[in-house]
Amino acid sequence: MMREKKGGNSFWLGLVTGLIIALFITAVVFIVRVISGAGNTDPRTERIARGLASESTASASEKTGESSEGKSTVVAEGDKEEQGTGETTEEDKPAVVEDGYVLDNADVLKKIDTIEEMINKHYIEGVDNETLEKGIYSGMMDSLGDPYARYYDPEEWIEAQQDFGGIYYGIGVYLTKDEKYFVPRVTGVIKNTPAEEMGMQEDDLIVTVDGVDIYDYDLSDAVKLIKGAQGTYAHLEIVRGEGADRKVLELDVERRKVETPTVYYEDLGDGIAYIAISEFDDVTAPQFSEALQEARDNNMKGMVLDLRSNPGGSVYAAVDIARMLLPAGLVVYTEDKYGQRIEYDCDGAHELEVPMMVLVNKNTASSAEILSGAIKDHKKGKFIGTTTFGKGIVQNLYQLEDGSAIKMTTSSYFTPNGHNIHKIGIEPDIELEFDPDANTADGTDNQLERAKDELKKEMQ
């Protein structure tokens, strides 16, 4: 009995001693944490800092990559962009969000976990983690309600950059999905490209690519198969002709660097130069400069600038072209939600010396409207056609650390005289609808013909 009692006393003595030691250790750890944590930043500040390190914000410099739509990229078109610098100024830092950040809410994270668990348990088809992860990022961008906002995974971002630059590695053809045969049909062959060298023609039907049957493929998926690394070859099975003249060809077409033509020049006679711009990419300004020089070499006395159905693109390209046409002064300026203003100027060193007519229509948008607005405010051209689309906002692209990117609307743009044309457009000086019947009958472009007539009056 005595031994049992002695053992009980030892137990309680050990328990008390253990508690004292535990309390002492806890106190020491707490003091150390307080001392070491005195200089720590608020978790929200750390979150912002991480975000700014991985995403670029537009600086006050012109070359941050703004665009009006769409490269940070600045895009001012229907869908073009540029890559951000990764730098930030004090003014660029995000404003404090009154109700905090969504992912700081433990209930939100718990709900995401619950939804993922239910998907894995109940969804009838399998879904991989990569797809779910992309869905989360895309969902955040979709939630903005911004029709131009989107998330690009790393592969999509690489393709988008090629599109924005107007340069890609492929064979050099324009394609559409044939509505009768459900395969890609060639609508045009770019000059000085592998496709032209191999004799590819308009209306050729591409049936297979490297042995893959592309019947009823989404056009973008078919294009991915045709594009590829420089120096490799695309083995194409092509159907050419109809009926008894139909034949099947097999061609090995080399993939090379292809520069998309975005500018078309033609001497219309009587000293009239015609220059059309289809979109604004990185290659557009140099192409326009070449066309303009050729027009001058041909003794241009008047110019028709055709911006019809131009969806826009790079703000920088539009500004660079404006600098080849306008007198000294403002070309365009943008303002973000903080009132921060970025101006794009022209020194007037290359002002166009002849009268100009500008053709526009309801599909002239974004960067094309930036150029149009600058020409109109500086009274350097007369506009013919119909009211433009009315896209007066700018999108920026921000590349993230993992090679992905996001795009969202970040500012509005204004013409030199301070007009914001968003959802308004630019009205022509001469309202004239395009006549499709006349164009179908004999190729007559009634808007172009009117521009030529107006130019001749001013050239006299």
Band the pLDDT of 191: cuts 50, 70, 90. Answer: confident
Tokens encoding 102: 């969504």
Residue 211: count other Cβ atoms within 10 Å of its Cβ: 7
What pLDDT does 187 receive? 87
pLDDT digits (tens, 9 = 90+) for 40-99: 333 323 322 223 222 222 222 233 333 443 334 455 434 443 333 333 334 444 454 567
Give me the pLDDT at residue 97, please.
Answer: 55
The Cα–Cα gap between 447 and 421 comes to 23
Among 54-68, 249-263, 376-390, the least confident range: 54-68
Cα-Cα-Cα-Cα torsion 454, 455, 459, 460, nearest 10 degrees, comes to -30
Tally of CA atoms within 13 A in the half-sphere of 285 that contains its CB: 17
Q: Is the pLDDT reported for residue 15 higher than 60?
A: no
Cα(451)–Cα(381) distance, integer angstroms: 11
**Per-residue confidence (pLDDT) for residue 214, from 0 to 100:** 97
Closest CA relative to residue 281, chosen from 102, 421, 81, 44: 81
Give the pLDDT band of residue 168 (cuts 50, 70, 90): confident
Please state which of the ranges 6-15, 77-86, 360-369 shows the lowest mean pLDDT: 77-86
pLDDT at 39: 38
Sequence-separated (6 or more) residues with CB below 8 Å from residue 452:
268, 270, 272, 304, 357
pLDDT over 60 (residue 19): no
**Mean pLDDT computed over 115-137:** 94
The predicted-structure confidence for 192-208, as pLDDT tens digits, reads as follows 999 999 999 999 999 99
d(CA 274, CA 385): 16
Average pLDDT, the chain: 83
Domain ranges (residues) in the chain: 167-259, 263-459
pLDDT digits (tens, 9 = 90+) for 303-354: 999 999 999 989 999 999 999 999 999 999 999 999 999 999 999 999 999 9
Class of domain 167-259: mainly beta
Q: Quick one: average pLDDT of 13-18?
A: 50
Q: Are 146 and 408 spatial neighbours (Cβ–Cβ below 8 Å)? A: yes
- Say if residue 447's pLDDT is above 50: yes
The model's pLDDT over 212-231, given as tens digits with 9 standing for 90+, comes to: 999 999 888 899 999 998 99
What's the pLDDT at 14? 53
Residue 179 scores a pLDDT above 60:
yes
Cα first-last separation, the chain: 130
Q: Which residues are registered as beta bridge partners of 234?
A: 253
How many of the other CB atoms lie within 10 Å of CB of 305? 25
The span from the CA of 246 to the CA of 240, in Å, is 6
Model pLDDT, residue 196: 95
Percentage of the chain lying above the pLDDT 70 cut: 78
Q: Which amino acid is at 213?
A: D
Among 39-43, 209-213, 255-259, 448-452, where is mean pLDDT lowest? 39-43
Dump pLDDT digits (tens) for 149-161. 999 999 999 888 8
What is the percent of the chain where pLDDT is above 90? 68
What dotted CATH number matches 263-459?
A: 3.90.226.10
pLDDT at 78: 41
What pLDDT, on the 0 to 100 scale, is given for residue 7? 46
What does the pLDDT read at residue 415?
Answer: 98
Between 126 and 263, the more confident residue is: 263
